[in-house]
Structure 1
Amino acid sequence: MTYASIMVSLDLGPAAAARVQLAADLAGRFDARLIGVAARHVPDPVTAADIAEVEQIFEAEKDRVVEELGQARDLFERAANSYAETAWRSAIAPGIAYLALQARAADLLVVGRHGARDGDAGPLGVPPGPLLMEAGRPILVVPPGLTRMRAEHAVVAWKDTPEARRAVLAALPLLRRASDVLVLGIAPETDAKAVGDVADFLVRHGVAAAAKTVPESEIRAGAAILANTAAQRADLLVMGAYGHSRLREWLFGGVTREILQTATACCLMSH
């Protein structure tokens, strides 16, 4: 397994150019196609005296969206720095729904982290949480400012669920290239045997993996994952994303939410 096509979400926020550079570097290492994607729907006019005014406001908003999408494309082309094989996709459409649809063309989606202190990505920004629920593809969540993910050291946060199994499989191309990979389980929810099985599975796939189990009583699960990621000097964290949608509200467990908003390493997640 490898990555033949990598897709990156574009917006006009301050972290967008660095995210494209990271995606382009990743695509270069796997000789993959790099696809830039952006979308935004035209906002409905909130105040208007008559139909003519509604149409006028709508056309003005549409022109603004078209201009923003053009700026996003220009940013993508500059930041990709003449990467050998690129493609661009954009539309006047809801961003999450459009990117989830375009995910059919990619092995991996690269999106920005949307933490409370990460700055405003603007109307083209796509939060990773809802996208995780709809895309049916693994997502690499990138903190602001990172232009490269070496993935020399990595952590797999293991929980015995389908989501975690899908995340590990999706990360195999990166994990095979890592110098060391720590498979981390939080007891009692995950036992040492399960963590050992995953480490052994990875070893048999050519990964330099080791197993570790941490009692949750000593430290909160999310904090334990982040602390061990830092101790490992890892810039890649692999884990399942746990949540569900209800009436278009996106609900995640505390660990997933904490990682999505605060992790300083890139997080490869699957739902």
Structure 2
Amino acid sequence: MKISNVMVSLDLGAAAADRVQLSASLAERFDATLTGVAARQVPALIAVSDVRESERIYEIEDRRAREQLAEARAVFLREAGRGIRTAWRAALAEPTAYLTTQARAADMVVVGRHGPVDGDPGLMGIAAGALLMAVGRPVLVAPPGVERLTAKRIVVAWKDTRESRRAVQDALPFLSQAEAVHLVVAGPGAHEEGAEDVAAYLSGHGAAVTTHLLPSPGAEAAEAVLQFARRADADLIVMGAYGHTRLREWIFGGATRDVLQATTLCCLMSH
């Protein structure tokens, strides 16, 4: 898989600049185009007794939305720099739905981690969980404060599911160039997940891979993987994103939810 277009979401949160710098470094690494995307929905007409007042309020909100989109574009252009190809897409629309649509032109989408301590991204923020379920592209979740991703040491959180298989496939441009790839299987059924086959598959693509089985049921799978990643001094986790009936309810020990909200490492996720 060749990465030719990296797409990054823009909002006016404190971490937006870091996220663009991170995405720009990836675009430079893969000789790809960096596309910035932002959307801001204008609230519907407010029901008031005076129609003219309602229209006046709408015009104010419309102008404010356009100003914020222009501000986001300025952040994108400033932080992307001049050494790479760039493109910009913006609209007065619901942000997650708009990014999902625009991602048809992307090989990878970069979004911010928005956990309880990450601050409010405002009306242009992206719901990462909903995006993962709908976008059909690998999504790189970037924590605040991360400006570059070397991906020299990568942890693959493996579970023998469609989502994990897709995540491994999507991550091959990173895995094949890494100095060390740790294939980690956590949980009481770790020996039954076919880790040896996956390691052989990755080796065939040039990855320097080792396998690690963590069968102890004493910790949640997510926490076991995150602890291993910290010990291995990894800077990227690759994993499948799991969801069912409601977008905010997650399985695999809550791993998807935990990573979206709390991980200090970049995480490449596919659904």
Task: Indicate the TM-score class for this superposition, using the shorter chain for normalisation.
Answer: over 0.9
CA distance in 1, matches of 2:126, 2:190: 32
Corresponding residue of 2:20: 20
Worse-superposed segment, 133-142 or 190-199: 190-199
Q: Which has the higher strand share?
A: 1
Preserved CA contact (<8 Å) 1:221 1:255? yes
CA distance in 1, matches of 2:44, 2:213: 51
RMSD: 1.3
Three-state SS of the structure 1 residue aligned to 2:124 is coil
Corresponding residue of 1:195: 195
| Matched positions, count | 269
Corresponding residue of 1:157: 157
Three-state SS of the structure 1 residue aligned to 2:248 is strand
Deviation at 1:250, TM superposition (A): 3.4
Name the TM-score, length of structure 1 as normaliser: 0.96
Three-state SS of the structure 2 residue aligned to 1:238 is strand
Corresponding residue of 2:61: 61
Corresponding residue of 1:139: 139
Worse-superposed segment, 43-52 or 90-99: 43-52
CA distance in 1, matches of 2:188, 2:217: 9
Corresponding residue of 1:33: 33
Preserved CA contact (<8 Å) 1:112 1:127? no
Per-residue CA deviations over 1:25-58 (Å, capped at 9, x if unaligned) read 0010000000000001101244522222211111
Per-residue CA deviations over 1:156-208 (Å, capped at 9, x if unaligned) read 00011111111101100011111000000013243256112111110111000
Query: Percentage identity across aligned positions?
Result: 51
Three-state SS of the structure 1 residue aligned to 2:238 is strand
CA distance in 1, matches of 2:177, 2:265: 17
Name the TM-score, length of structure 2 as normaliser: 0.96
CA distance in 1, matches of 2:189, 2:124: 38
Q: Name the aligned partner's letter for residue 248 of structure 2.
A: W
Corresponding residue of 1:251: 249
CA distance in 2, matches of 1:152, 1:8: 22
Worse-superposed segment, 96-105 or 184-193: 184-193
Three-state SS of the structure 1 residue aligned to 2:223 is helix
Preserved CA contact (<8 Å) 2:11 2:124? yes
Unaligned runs of 5+ in 2: none
After TM superposition, the structure 1 = structure 2 runs for residues 1-271 of structure 1, keeping only pairs within 5 Å, are: 1-46=1-46, 48-191=48-191, 194-246=194-246, 250-253=248-251, 254-271=254-271
Deviation at 1:216, TM superposition (A): 3.6
Per-residue CA deviations over 1:74-93 (Å, capped at 9, x if unaligned) read 00000001132000000000
Per-residue CA deviations over 1:183-242 (Å, capped at 9, x if unaligned) read 000132432561121111101110001111102423221110110110111110000000
